[in-house]
Chains A and B, each alone.
Chain A
Amino acid sequence: MMGEEQSVLEKLATIDRRVLYVIFFVVLLLANVFKFSLPIVVHPEAKAVYDAIEELHEGSSVIYSCDSDIGGYSESGPPQVAVMNHLLMRPLKIIIVACGEPTGLLVALNVLRDVDQDLLNKKEYGVDYVLLGFLPGEESAVAALASTPFEKLFPFDYEGNILSELPIINEVRSSEDISLVLDAPYGDIAFWMRHWGAPLEIPVAFLMTTGYLPAVMPFYQSGQLLGMVVGSPGGAEYEQLIGKIGTSLQTTSIMSVMGLLCIACMICANVITFFRKEEKNKIGERR
Protein backbone atom coordinates (compact mmCIF):
# COMPACT_ATOMS: atom_id res chain seq x y z
CA MET A 1 0.00 0.00 0.00
CA MET A 2 1.16 3.57 -0.61
CA GLY A 3 2.91 5.16 2.35
CA GLU A 4 3.67 1.82 4.02
CA GLU A 5 7.32 0.92 4.48
CA GLN A 6 8.44 -2.05 2.44
CA SER A 7 9.16 -5.13 4.51
CA VAL A 8 12.53 -6.81 4.22
CA LEU A 9 10.94 -9.58 2.20
CA GLU A 10 9.37 -7.08 -0.16
CA LYS A 11 12.72 -5.35 -0.65
CA LEU A 12 14.44 -8.66 -1.33
CA ALA A 13 11.73 -9.75 -3.74
CA THR A 14 12.03 -6.52 -5.76
CA ILE A 15 15.80 -6.28 -5.61
CA ASP A 16 17.34 -4.78 -8.72
CA ARG A 17 18.73 -7.57 -10.89
CA ARG A 18 21.88 -5.54 -11.39
CA VAL A 19 22.76 -6.24 -7.76
CA LEU A 20 22.69 -9.96 -8.58
CA TYR A 21 24.88 -9.37 -11.63
CA VAL A 22 27.42 -7.56 -9.46
CA ILE A 23 27.40 -10.44 -6.97
CA PHE A 24 27.96 -12.93 -9.78
CA PHE A 25 30.86 -10.94 -11.23
CA VAL A 26 32.47 -10.45 -7.82
CA VAL A 27 32.27 -14.20 -7.16
CA LEU A 28 33.69 -14.83 -10.64
CA LEU A 29 36.55 -12.42 -10.01
CA LEU A 30 37.38 -13.92 -6.62
CA ALA A 31 37.21 -17.46 -8.00
CA ASN A 32 39.65 -16.53 -10.78
CA VAL A 33 42.05 -14.65 -8.53
CA PHE A 34 42.12 -17.25 -5.72
CA LYS A 35 42.82 -20.21 -7.97
CA PHE A 36 41.50 -23.51 -6.74
CA SER A 37 40.53 -26.79 -8.31
CA LEU A 38 37.90 -29.20 -7.12
CA PRO A 39 38.36 -32.92 -7.68
CA ILE A 40 36.61 -34.24 -10.76
CA VAL A 41 35.50 -37.69 -11.74
CA VAL A 42 36.27 -39.08 -15.18
CA HIS A 43 32.97 -40.16 -16.71
CA PRO A 44 32.66 -43.34 -18.82
CA GLU A 45 31.74 -41.26 -21.89
CA ALA A 46 35.08 -39.45 -21.93
CA LYS A 47 36.98 -42.61 -20.98
CA ALA A 48 35.40 -44.41 -23.95
CA VAL A 49 36.82 -41.81 -26.36
CA TYR A 50 40.22 -42.04 -24.71
CA ASP A 51 40.24 -45.84 -24.90
CA ALA A 52 39.13 -45.79 -28.54
CA ILE A 53 42.02 -43.51 -29.53
CA GLU A 54 44.49 -45.51 -27.42
CA GLU A 55 43.44 -48.76 -29.09
CA LEU A 56 43.88 -47.50 -32.65
CA HIS A 57 46.71 -49.22 -34.47
CA GLU A 58 49.70 -47.31 -35.72
CA GLY A 59 48.87 -45.61 -39.00
CA SER A 60 45.11 -45.64 -38.42
CA SER A 61 43.20 -42.68 -39.76
CA VAL A 62 40.87 -40.40 -37.89
CA ILE A 63 38.56 -37.81 -39.37
CA TYR A 64 38.04 -34.79 -37.17
CA SER A 65 35.13 -32.56 -38.17
CA CYS A 66 34.96 -29.05 -36.76
CA ASP A 67 31.29 -28.25 -37.16
CA SER A 68 31.00 -25.96 -34.19
CA ASP A 69 30.58 -22.22 -34.10
CA ILE A 70 33.53 -19.99 -33.18
CA GLY A 71 31.34 -18.12 -30.69
CA GLY A 72 31.22 -21.16 -28.43
CA TYR A 73 34.95 -21.94 -28.70
CA SER A 74 35.51 -21.03 -25.06
CA GLU A 75 33.34 -23.98 -24.07
CA SER A 76 33.80 -26.37 -27.00
CA GLY A 77 37.51 -25.65 -27.45
CA PRO A 78 38.95 -27.38 -24.34
CA PRO A 79 37.66 -30.87 -25.22
CA GLN A 80 38.79 -30.45 -28.81
CA VAL A 81 42.26 -29.29 -27.79
CA ALA A 82 42.62 -32.11 -25.27
CA VAL A 83 41.56 -34.76 -27.78
CA MET A 84 43.73 -33.26 -30.52
CA ASN A 85 46.70 -33.40 -28.13
CA HIS A 86 45.96 -37.08 -27.62
CA LEU A 87 45.72 -37.66 -31.38
CA LEU A 88 49.08 -35.96 -31.85
CA MET A 89 50.64 -38.17 -29.17
CA ARG A 90 49.73 -41.27 -31.17
CA PRO A 91 51.02 -42.37 -34.58
CA LEU A 92 47.81 -41.62 -36.44
CA LYS A 93 46.74 -39.88 -39.63
CA ILE A 94 44.39 -36.99 -38.98
CA ILE A 95 42.01 -35.56 -41.57
CA ILE A 96 40.53 -32.23 -40.43
CA VAL A 97 37.43 -30.94 -42.18
CA ALA A 98 34.58 -28.47 -41.58
CA CYS A 99 31.11 -29.40 -42.86
CA GLY A 100 28.63 -27.51 -40.72
CA GLU A 101 29.46 -23.94 -39.97
CA PRO A 102 31.83 -21.85 -42.13
CA THR A 103 33.38 -20.69 -38.85
CA GLY A 104 34.25 -24.33 -38.16
CA LEU A 105 37.45 -23.65 -40.07
CA LEU A 106 38.32 -20.91 -37.58
CA VAL A 107 37.66 -23.37 -34.77
CA ALA A 108 40.00 -25.88 -36.40
CA LEU A 109 42.71 -23.24 -36.77
CA ASN A 110 42.24 -22.19 -33.14
CA VAL A 111 42.54 -25.80 -32.02
CA LEU A 112 45.77 -26.22 -33.97
CA ARG A 113 47.02 -22.98 -32.42
CA ASP A 114 46.14 -24.05 -28.87
CA VAL A 115 47.46 -27.63 -28.93
CA ASP A 116 50.89 -28.48 -27.58
CA GLN A 117 53.14 -27.05 -30.31
CA ASP A 118 55.94 -29.48 -29.44
CA LEU A 119 53.60 -32.33 -30.34
CA LEU A 120 52.37 -30.56 -33.48
CA ASN A 121 55.90 -29.80 -34.69
CA LYS A 122 56.77 -33.49 -34.51
CA LYS A 123 54.07 -34.14 -37.10
CA GLU A 124 54.40 -33.16 -40.71
CA TYR A 125 51.60 -31.37 -42.54
CA GLY A 126 50.50 -33.34 -45.55
CA VAL A 127 51.97 -36.56 -44.20
CA ASP A 128 50.52 -36.98 -40.71
CA TYR A 129 47.65 -34.51 -40.83
CA VAL A 130 45.88 -32.31 -43.31
CA LEU A 131 43.31 -29.53 -43.09
CA LEU A 132 40.99 -30.14 -46.03
CA GLY A 133 38.86 -27.04 -45.63
CA PHE A 134 35.17 -26.20 -45.59
CA LEU A 135 32.66 -28.33 -47.48
CA PRO A 136 29.30 -26.57 -47.71
CA GLY A 137 26.06 -28.49 -47.40
CA GLU A 138 25.98 -29.61 -43.75
CA GLU A 139 24.31 -33.02 -43.84
CA SER A 140 24.65 -33.34 -47.61
CA ALA A 141 28.36 -32.65 -47.26
CA VAL A 142 28.76 -35.34 -44.60
CA ALA A 143 26.81 -37.79 -46.77
CA ALA A 144 29.01 -36.92 -49.75
CA LEU A 145 32.16 -37.45 -47.69
CA ALA A 146 30.90 -40.91 -46.75
CA SER A 147 30.51 -42.04 -50.35
CA THR A 148 33.05 -40.06 -52.37
CA PRO A 149 36.86 -40.09 -52.39
CA PHE A 150 38.23 -37.05 -50.59
CA GLU A 151 40.20 -35.96 -53.65
CA LYS A 152 37.05 -35.44 -55.65
CA LEU A 153 35.45 -33.27 -52.98
CA PHE A 154 38.62 -31.36 -52.11
CA PRO A 155 40.83 -30.85 -55.17
CA PHE A 156 42.82 -28.43 -53.00
CA ASP A 157 43.36 -28.42 -49.27
CA TYR A 158 42.86 -25.36 -47.06
CA GLU A 159 46.38 -24.09 -47.76
CA GLY A 160 45.92 -24.35 -51.52
CA ASN A 161 48.00 -27.51 -52.04
CA ILE A 162 46.78 -29.97 -54.66
CA LEU A 163 45.41 -32.76 -52.51
CA SER A 164 46.49 -35.57 -54.80
CA GLU A 165 50.10 -34.47 -54.36
CA LEU A 166 50.03 -34.81 -50.56
CA PRO A 167 51.36 -38.17 -49.28
CA ILE A 168 48.56 -38.56 -46.73
CA ILE A 169 45.90 -38.90 -49.41
CA ASN A 170 47.63 -42.03 -50.77
CA GLU A 171 46.84 -43.74 -47.47
CA VAL A 172 43.54 -42.07 -46.63
CA ARG A 173 41.49 -41.89 -49.79
CA SER A 174 37.92 -42.23 -48.57
CA SER A 175 35.68 -43.26 -45.71
CA GLU A 176 36.84 -46.86 -46.14
CA ASP A 177 40.22 -45.90 -44.70
CA ILE A 178 38.81 -44.09 -41.65
CA SER A 179 38.81 -45.87 -38.28
CA LEU A 180 37.22 -43.22 -36.08
CA VAL A 181 35.10 -40.10 -36.49
CA LEU A 182 35.47 -37.22 -34.04
CA ASP A 183 32.82 -34.56 -34.50
CA ALA A 184 32.46 -31.19 -32.80
CA PRO A 185 28.80 -30.56 -33.62
CA TYR A 186 26.68 -27.44 -33.63
CA GLY A 187 22.92 -27.34 -34.08
CA ASP A 188 21.71 -30.66 -35.50
CA ILE A 189 23.98 -33.21 -33.99
CA ALA A 190 23.35 -36.46 -35.79
CA PHE A 191 24.84 -35.93 -39.27
CA TRP A 192 27.89 -38.14 -38.77
CA MET A 193 25.95 -40.81 -36.92
CA ARG A 194 23.38 -40.99 -39.73
CA HIS A 195 25.83 -41.31 -42.62
CA TRP A 196 29.01 -42.73 -41.12
CA GLY A 197 28.02 -44.44 -37.86
CA ALA A 198 24.91 -46.40 -38.81
CA PRO A 199 25.52 -47.34 -42.48
CA LEU A 200 29.33 -47.62 -42.46
CA GLU A 201 29.65 -48.80 -38.83
CA ILE A 202 32.53 -46.42 -38.15
CA PRO A 203 32.62 -45.38 -34.47
CA VAL A 204 31.56 -41.77 -33.93
CA ALA A 205 32.44 -39.66 -30.89
CA PHE A 206 31.41 -36.11 -30.05
CA LEU A 207 33.48 -33.24 -28.70
CA MET A 208 30.86 -30.69 -27.83
CA THR A 209 29.53 -28.01 -25.52
CA THR A 210 27.57 -28.82 -22.39
CA GLY A 211 24.39 -27.42 -23.94
CA TYR A 212 23.95 -30.42 -26.25
CA LEU A 213 24.34 -33.10 -23.58
CA PRO A 214 20.60 -33.76 -23.11
CA ALA A 215 20.07 -34.14 -26.86
CA VAL A 216 23.08 -36.41 -27.33
CA MET A 217 22.72 -38.68 -24.30
CA PRO A 218 20.00 -40.91 -25.85
CA PHE A 219 22.34 -41.75 -28.71
CA TYR A 220 25.14 -42.62 -26.29
CA GLN A 221 22.85 -44.75 -24.14
CA SER A 222 21.56 -46.63 -27.19
CA GLY A 223 25.12 -47.45 -28.21
CA GLN A 224 25.08 -45.47 -31.45
CA LEU A 225 27.63 -43.01 -30.10
CA LEU A 226 30.99 -44.32 -28.96
CA GLY A 227 31.51 -41.58 -26.39
CA MET A 228 31.60 -37.86 -25.83
CA VAL A 229 33.83 -35.24 -24.28
CA VAL A 230 31.49 -32.56 -23.04
CA GLY A 231 32.52 -28.96 -22.59
CA SER A 232 35.04 -27.69 -20.08
CA PRO A 233 34.30 -30.50 -17.58
CA GLY A 234 34.90 -33.06 -20.32
CA GLY A 235 38.04 -31.23 -21.31
CA ALA A 236 39.24 -31.34 -17.71
CA GLU A 237 38.53 -35.08 -17.51
CA TYR A 238 40.37 -35.71 -20.77
CA GLU A 239 43.33 -33.58 -19.67
CA GLN A 240 43.60 -35.78 -16.59
CA LEU A 241 43.52 -38.90 -18.75
CA ILE A 242 46.29 -37.76 -21.10
CA GLY A 243 48.31 -36.12 -18.33
CA LYS A 244 48.30 -32.62 -19.84
CA ILE A 245 46.52 -30.32 -17.40
CA GLY A 246 45.29 -27.07 -18.93
CA THR A 247 42.80 -24.40 -17.83
CA SER A 248 39.76 -26.66 -18.07
CA LEU A 249 40.10 -27.90 -14.49
CA GLN A 250 39.96 -24.39 -13.06
CA THR A 251 37.09 -23.46 -15.40
CA THR A 252 35.17 -26.53 -14.24
CA SER A 253 35.74 -25.67 -10.59
CA ILE A 254 34.53 -22.10 -11.13
CA MET A 255 31.51 -23.48 -13.01
CA SER A 256 30.67 -25.53 -9.92
CA VAL A 257 30.85 -22.42 -7.72
CA MET A 258 28.68 -20.41 -10.15
CA GLY A 259 26.21 -23.29 -10.27
CA LEU A 260 25.99 -23.39 -6.48
CA LEU A 261 25.49 -19.62 -6.39
CA CYS A 262 22.69 -19.93 -8.93
CA ILE A 263 21.03 -22.70 -6.90
CA ALA A 264 21.34 -20.58 -3.75
CA CYS A 265 19.66 -17.66 -5.54
CA MET A 266 16.84 -19.93 -6.74
CA ILE A 267 16.28 -21.32 -3.25
CA CYS A 268 16.29 -17.80 -1.77
CA ALA A 269 13.83 -16.59 -4.40
CA ASN A 270 11.45 -19.46 -3.74
CA VAL A 271 11.71 -19.05 0.06
CA ILE A 272 11.09 -15.30 -0.23
CA THR A 273 8.08 -15.92 -2.51
CA PHE A 274 6.67 -18.44 -0.03
CA PHE A 275 7.02 -16.16 2.98
CA ARG A 276 5.67 -13.17 1.02
CA LYS A 277 2.51 -15.13 0.32
CA GLU A 278 2.26 -15.97 4.01
CA GLU A 279 2.77 -12.29 4.88
CA LYS A 280 0.11 -11.14 2.42
CA ASN A 281 -2.32 -13.74 3.74
CA LYS A 282 -1.74 -12.49 7.29
CA ILE A 283 -2.24 -8.85 6.20
CA GLY A 284 -5.42 -9.91 4.43
CA GLU A 285 -6.71 -11.69 7.53
CA ARG A 286 -6.01 -8.66 9.77
CA ARG A 287 -8.12 -6.48 7.49
Chain B
Amino acid sequence: MNLIGDWIAALIFIIIMSYLFIETRFFKAITFVVIGVAVGHSAVVAINTIVSRCIKPIAVGNIAPIIPVIIGLLLFSQFSKNYKYLGRYPIGMIVGVTTGVSVRGMVETDLVNQIIATIKLPVNNISNIIFIICLVCALSTFIFTKKLSKPWSYAQNVGRCTLMLYFGWMFGSRFFMFTGILIDRFRFVLSVFGIL
Protein backbone atom coordinates (compact mmCIF):
# COMPACT_ATOMS: atom_id res chain seq x y z
CA MET B 1 0.00 0.00 0.00
CA ASN B 2 2.83 2.37 0.88
CA LEU B 3 4.56 1.49 -2.38
CA ILE B 4 1.49 2.46 -4.40
CA GLY B 5 1.10 5.66 -2.37
CA ASP B 6 4.77 6.55 -2.85
CA TRP B 7 4.56 6.05 -6.60
CA ILE B 8 1.39 8.13 -6.81
CA ALA B 9 3.03 10.89 -4.75
CA ALA B 10 6.14 10.81 -6.98
CA LEU B 11 4.01 10.94 -10.12
CA ILE B 12 2.00 13.88 -8.77
CA PHE B 13 5.22 15.72 -7.98
CA ILE B 14 6.50 15.24 -11.53
CA ILE B 15 3.18 16.35 -13.04
CA ILE B 16 3.13 19.48 -10.88
CA MET B 17 6.76 20.30 -11.71
CA SER B 18 5.97 19.84 -15.40
CA TYR B 19 4.02 23.09 -15.16
CA LEU B 20 7.38 24.90 -15.24
CA PHE B 21 7.88 23.66 -18.81
CA ILE B 22 4.41 23.25 -20.24
CA GLU B 23 0.91 23.34 -18.84
CA THR B 24 -0.87 20.06 -19.41
CA ARG B 25 -4.30 18.65 -18.67
CA PHE B 26 -2.68 16.38 -16.10
CA PHE B 27 -1.50 19.41 -14.14
CA LYS B 28 -5.00 20.88 -14.17
CA ALA B 29 -6.45 17.56 -13.06
CA ILE B 30 -3.96 17.33 -10.17
CA THR B 31 -4.79 20.85 -9.01
CA PHE B 32 -8.46 19.87 -8.86
CA VAL B 33 -7.52 16.74 -6.93
CA VAL B 34 -5.48 18.80 -4.44
CA ILE B 35 -8.34 21.22 -3.92
CA GLY B 36 -10.78 18.35 -3.54
CA VAL B 37 -8.60 16.56 -1.00
CA ALA B 38 -8.10 19.74 1.03
CA VAL B 39 -11.80 20.57 1.05
CA GLY B 40 -12.72 16.97 1.78
CA HIS B 41 -10.31 16.79 4.69
CA SER B 42 -11.63 20.06 6.12
CA ALA B 43 -15.19 18.83 5.75
CA VAL B 44 -14.40 15.57 7.57
CA VAL B 45 -12.65 17.43 10.39
CA ALA B 46 -15.58 19.85 10.65
CA ILE B 47 -18.12 17.04 10.77
CA ASN B 48 -16.06 15.12 13.34
CA THR B 49 -15.76 18.26 15.46
CA ILE B 50 -19.50 18.89 15.39
CA VAL B 51 -20.27 15.27 16.21
CA SER B 52 -17.77 15.02 19.07
CA ARG B 53 -18.40 18.44 20.60
CA CYS B 54 -22.12 18.87 20.01
CA ILE B 55 -23.99 15.75 18.99
CA LYS B 56 -22.37 13.33 21.44
CA PRO B 57 -22.71 15.57 24.53
CA ILE B 58 -26.34 16.36 23.64
CA ALA B 59 -27.00 12.65 23.19
CA VAL B 60 -25.79 11.92 26.74
CA GLY B 61 -27.96 14.67 28.22
CA ASN B 62 -25.66 17.68 28.25
CA ILE B 63 -27.87 20.43 26.81
CA ALA B 64 -25.26 23.23 26.90
CA PRO B 65 -24.06 22.70 23.27
CA ILE B 66 -27.63 23.24 21.98
CA ILE B 67 -27.21 27.02 22.10
CA PRO B 68 -24.04 27.17 19.96
CA VAL B 69 -25.59 24.60 17.59
CA ILE B 70 -28.63 26.85 17.07
CA ILE B 71 -26.40 29.88 16.60
CA GLY B 72 -24.29 27.95 14.10
CA LEU B 73 -27.39 26.82 12.19
CA LEU B 74 -28.46 30.46 11.86
CA LEU B 75 -25.49 30.88 9.50
CA PHE B 76 -27.40 28.83 6.93
CA SER B 77 -30.12 31.49 6.86
CA GLN B 78 -27.88 33.20 4.31
CA PHE B 79 -29.53 30.97 1.71
CA SER B 80 -32.98 32.44 2.43
CA LYS B 81 -34.04 35.82 1.09
CA ASN B 82 -36.53 36.48 3.89
CA TYR B 83 -34.42 35.33 6.83
CA LYS B 84 -31.00 36.35 5.63
CA TYR B 85 -30.74 38.92 8.43
CA LEU B 86 -30.60 36.14 11.04
CA GLY B 87 -27.13 35.19 9.77
CA ARG B 88 -25.72 38.49 10.96
CA TYR B 89 -25.96 37.50 14.61
CA PRO B 90 -23.60 34.51 14.53
CA ILE B 91 -21.23 36.38 12.22
CA GLY B 92 -21.24 39.31 14.62
CA MET B 93 -20.52 36.99 17.54
CA ILE B 94 -17.66 35.30 15.72
CA VAL B 95 -16.10 38.61 14.70
CA GLY B 96 -16.62 40.09 18.15
CA VAL B 97 -15.15 37.18 20.07
CA THR B 98 -12.21 36.77 17.70
CA THR B 99 -11.42 40.48 17.74
CA GLY B 100 -11.77 40.74 21.48
CA VAL B 101 -9.52 37.76 22.12
CA SER B 102 -6.91 39.03 19.62
CA VAL B 103 -6.82 42.63 20.81
CA ARG B 104 -6.51 41.61 24.45
CA GLY B 105 -3.28 39.75 23.74
CA MET B 106 -2.03 41.81 20.81
CA VAL B 107 -1.69 45.08 22.72
CA GLU B 108 0.61 43.53 25.30
CA THR B 109 2.62 41.24 23.05
CA ASP B 110 2.88 43.11 19.77
CA LEU B 111 3.01 46.68 21.07
CA VAL B 112 3.80 47.24 24.74
CA ASN B 113 6.41 44.52 25.25
CA GLN B 114 8.13 45.34 21.98
CA ILE B 115 8.28 49.05 22.88
CA ILE B 116 9.59 48.26 26.37
CA ALA B 117 12.28 46.01 24.91
CA THR B 118 13.33 48.75 22.50
CA ILE B 119 13.49 51.35 25.28
CA LYS B 120 15.58 48.99 27.41
CA LEU B 121 18.03 48.35 24.59
CA PRO B 122 21.52 49.35 25.76
CA VAL B 123 23.16 51.84 23.43
CA ASN B 124 26.62 50.39 23.90
CA ASN B 125 27.30 48.74 20.57
CA ILE B 126 27.03 49.75 16.94
CA SER B 127 24.42 47.09 16.20
CA ASN B 128 21.95 48.49 18.72
CA ILE B 129 22.57 52.06 17.56
CA ILE B 130 21.88 51.10 13.94
CA PHE B 131 18.76 49.24 15.10
CA ILE B 132 17.35 52.29 16.88
CA ILE B 133 18.16 54.61 13.98
CA CYS B 134 16.52 52.25 11.48
CA LEU B 135 13.49 51.78 13.76
CA VAL B 136 12.87 55.52 14.08
CA CYS B 137 13.43 56.07 10.36
CA ALA B 138 11.13 53.19 9.41
CA LEU B 139 8.40 54.57 11.68
CA SER B 140 8.85 58.03 10.16
CA THR B 141 8.04 56.52 6.75
CA PHE B 142 4.47 56.09 7.96
CA ILE B 143 3.94 59.76 8.86
CA PHE B 144 1.34 60.80 6.31
CA THR B 145 -0.23 63.74 8.13
CA LYS B 146 2.47 66.19 7.17
CA LYS B 147 5.14 66.23 4.51
CA LEU B 148 8.49 66.24 6.26
CA SER B 149 10.96 68.83 5.09
CA LYS B 150 14.74 68.43 4.93
CA PRO B 151 16.59 67.14 6.89
CA TRP B 152 13.74 65.04 8.30
CA SER B 153 12.85 63.73 4.86
CA TYR B 154 16.20 61.94 4.86
CA ALA B 155 14.87 59.89 7.76
CA GLN B 156 12.03 58.73 5.55
CA ASN B 157 14.48 57.73 2.83
CA VAL B 158 16.50 55.73 5.34
CA GLY B 159 13.25 54.23 6.57
CA ARG B 160 12.31 53.15 3.07
CA CYS B 161 15.70 51.52 2.62
CA THR B 162 15.23 49.72 5.94
CA LEU B 163 11.86 48.44 4.81
CA MET B 164 13.34 47.29 1.51
CA LEU B 165 16.05 45.41 3.37
CA TYR B 166 13.36 43.74 5.45
CA PHE B 167 11.36 42.81 2.36
CA GLY B 168 14.52 41.41 0.79
CA TRP B 169 15.09 39.33 3.92
CA MET B 170 11.48 38.13 3.75
CA PHE B 171 11.92 37.19 0.10
CA GLY B 172 15.12 35.33 0.89
CA SER B 173 13.43 33.47 3.75
CA ARG B 174 10.52 32.49 1.55
CA PHE B 175 12.93 31.36 -1.18
CA PHE B 176 14.75 29.10 1.24
CA MET B 177 11.49 27.80 2.67
CA PHE B 178 10.27 26.68 -0.74
CA THR B 179 13.73 25.43 -1.68
CA GLY B 180 13.72 23.26 1.43
CA ILE B 181 10.33 21.84 0.50
CA LEU B 182 11.50 21.21 -3.08
CA ILE B 183 14.71 19.50 -1.97
CA ASP B 184 12.89 17.14 0.35
CA ARG B 185 10.25 16.21 -2.23
CA PHE B 186 12.88 15.81 -4.94
CA ARG B 187 14.84 13.49 -2.70
CA PHE B 188 11.66 11.52 -2.05
CA VAL B 189 11.06 11.13 -5.80
CA LEU B 190 14.65 10.01 -6.35
CA SER B 191 14.28 7.41 -3.61
CA VAL B 192 11.04 6.11 -5.12
CA PHE B 193 12.78 5.70 -8.50
CA GLY B 194 15.68 3.93 -6.81
CA ILE B 195 18.24 6.58 -7.71
CA LEU B 196 18.91 7.23 -4.01
Contacts and interface: CB of A to CB of B under 8 A. Distances in A.
Contacts of B104: 194
Interface stretch (A6-14, A40-48, A164-172, A210-218): A210-218
B89 interface: no
B195 interface: yes
A199 to B, nearest CB: 8
A143 B56 CA distance: 24
Interface stretch (A28-36, A52-60, A115-123, A176-184): A28-36
Contacts of B20: 18, 21
A210 B57 CA distance: 41
A108 interface: no
Interface string A218-235: 110111100000011000
Contact of A210 (B41, B42, B180, B187): B180
B190 A29 contact: yes
A32 B196 contact: yes
A102 interface: yes
Contacts of A75: 177, 180-181, 184
Interface size class of B (residues with CB under 8 A): 35 or more
A193 interface: yes
B49 A32 contact: no
Given A74-B185, A198-B109, A251-B183, A140 B177 contact: no
Contact of A143 (B101, B176, B177): B101
A82 B104 CA distance: 34
Contacts of A150: none
B98 A193 contact: no
B143 interface: no
Contact of B113 (A32, A134, A222, A247): A222
Given A136-B49, A155-B57, A190-B106, A255 B101 contact: no
